Amino acid sequence: MKTTFKLKMIVAPAIFLCLSCAQETKQKEAVKEETQTVKLMTLDPGHFHAALVQKTMYPLVDSTIHVFAPKGPEVDDFLNKIEQYNSRDEHPTAWKVNTYLEDDYLNRMVTEKPGNVMVVAGKNSKKIDYILAAVKAGLNVYADKPLVINSDGFNKLKEAFKIAEEKGVLIYDIMTERFESTTMMQKKFSTLPSVFGDLVNGTAEEPAISKESVHHFYKYVSGKPLVRPSWFFDVNEEGEGIVDVTTHLVDLVQWEAFPGQIIDSSQIEMVKARRWPTVLSLKEFQDVTGMESYPDYLEKDIKEDGLNVYCNGEMTYKIKGKFAKVSVIWNYRAPEGTGDTHYSIMRGTKSNLIIKQGEEENYKPVLYVESKLGNDFEKTLKLAVQNEIAEEFPGTTVEKIEDGKWKIGIPDKFKIGHEAHFAQVTSNYLKYLESGKLPSWEVPNMLTKYYTTIAAYKKAKEN
């Protein structure tokens, strides 16, 4: 009896301890579940940007993602990239994936709603209809650019934002270029009157702000050659270049030249716009898509010289009285050791802020400051870096290149690359979801941004 009593005395606390541990574990899991308020649903991932959102994990995001899509190579590529991120040696992710791969994928998503945020990156022709369906179902939207590629789409976008406001959900497009370090630095300098002065009004020939982006069809993503779907070369699906990549550049014009300001479409005046094709041979098309021949829907774009893709565009416009110019160019493949490039200039009354990414810069973006005040400007510039820039970008340096021109040295830790910018944008979006609102200027400026690209498309088509 004595022994039995002792055994009971030993076992009882152990049972209590186990129950206590189990209860504590449940409480921790409940707290964890409560903090992970964001559940992602990826819809019809036809573009590799959909996977880049998942290249990083986020504390507020549930580790299970739900994929709704038709069967095919595009969703297979997306799932392969997620598996690649999960199995990599350094900082592997731990995504669990639930898939629904049937033709009624959209209806299934908005009916079941296993998540509260739709992530969409794929055929631009379908994107606005996906967005409308999502907000009508009370879902938040996190979408790759562009949200719209024509006038009908723009009208639907206005309706979508109205419904989103009524439903209390957020629509947000993924503007990665706001996080590129030289662009951030260019913007920062433009806010310093001692260095930049004020943005000039400019002219159509010499705009106050200009941005040019050069891209390539053949490229590497996450260390592997990118296979593009054949529809990517159909402007009816992808949209012409003047409404696609220019979305980033128009966004940067607004974001840099008028930070925190609401811009209305009535403050946009399209001056001129043009469009032209990049011509691909069948061999080039085969290399980048893996297909043996052109699909029937591209027959309309095949000329004697090859496949004509209207992916290049340029626009000059006035925004709040300032002249701006935006252009995008697509080549087939970059020369060895190079890649996509960016050029930008902001003209101030005291200096010009210029981003170059050419051979002289080893094809890496570099910011230059070009004075309009002579060499005495150097002291002012260095003081600004010491007192203003260093707060946000510690370690920044100033190097004189020639009389009146200096190169800004940005520490490597701020140069994290295009793919990593997706995590930065996503983290921002998660903060907005947590607060339940976007900054007051974001929605009106998104609408104005797409008003601008569609106005340029109309103008270019007239020509």
Question: What beta strand segments (E) does 190-321 contain?
Answer: 209-218, 220-221, 224-225, 268-280, 302-303, 306-319
The DSSP annotation for 398-425 comes to: EEEEETTEEEEE--GGG---HHHHHHHH
Fold category of 40-173 in CATH: Rossmann fold (3.40.50)
Tokens encoding 232? 């990517």
CATH class assigned to 177-462: alpha beta
What residue spans define the domains of the chain? 40-173, 177-462
Residue 18 or residue 386, greater confidence? 386
The residues, ordered by sequence, that sit 6+ positions from 415 with a Cβ below 8 Å of its Cβ are 181, 364
Q: Indicate if the alpha-carbon torsion angle 416, 421, 422, 423 is positive or negative.
A: positive
Q: pLDDT at residue 417 above 90?
A: no
Q: Are the CB atoms for 234 and 298 separated by under 8 Å?
A: yes
Q: pLDDT at residue 7 above 90?
A: no
Question: 171-173 and 140-143 as β-strands: parallel, antiparallel, unpaired?
Answer: parallel
The DSSP annotation for 352-393 comes to: EEEEE-SGGGTTS-EEEEEESS-TTHHHHHHHHIIIIIHHHS
pLDDT 10s digits, 79-125: 999 999 999 999 999 999 999 999 999 999 999 999 999 999 999 99
Q: pLDDT at residue 35 above 90?
A: no
- CA pair distance 265, 152, nearest whole angstrom: 17
Q: pLDDT at residue 50 above 60?
A: yes
The pTM of this model reads 0.89
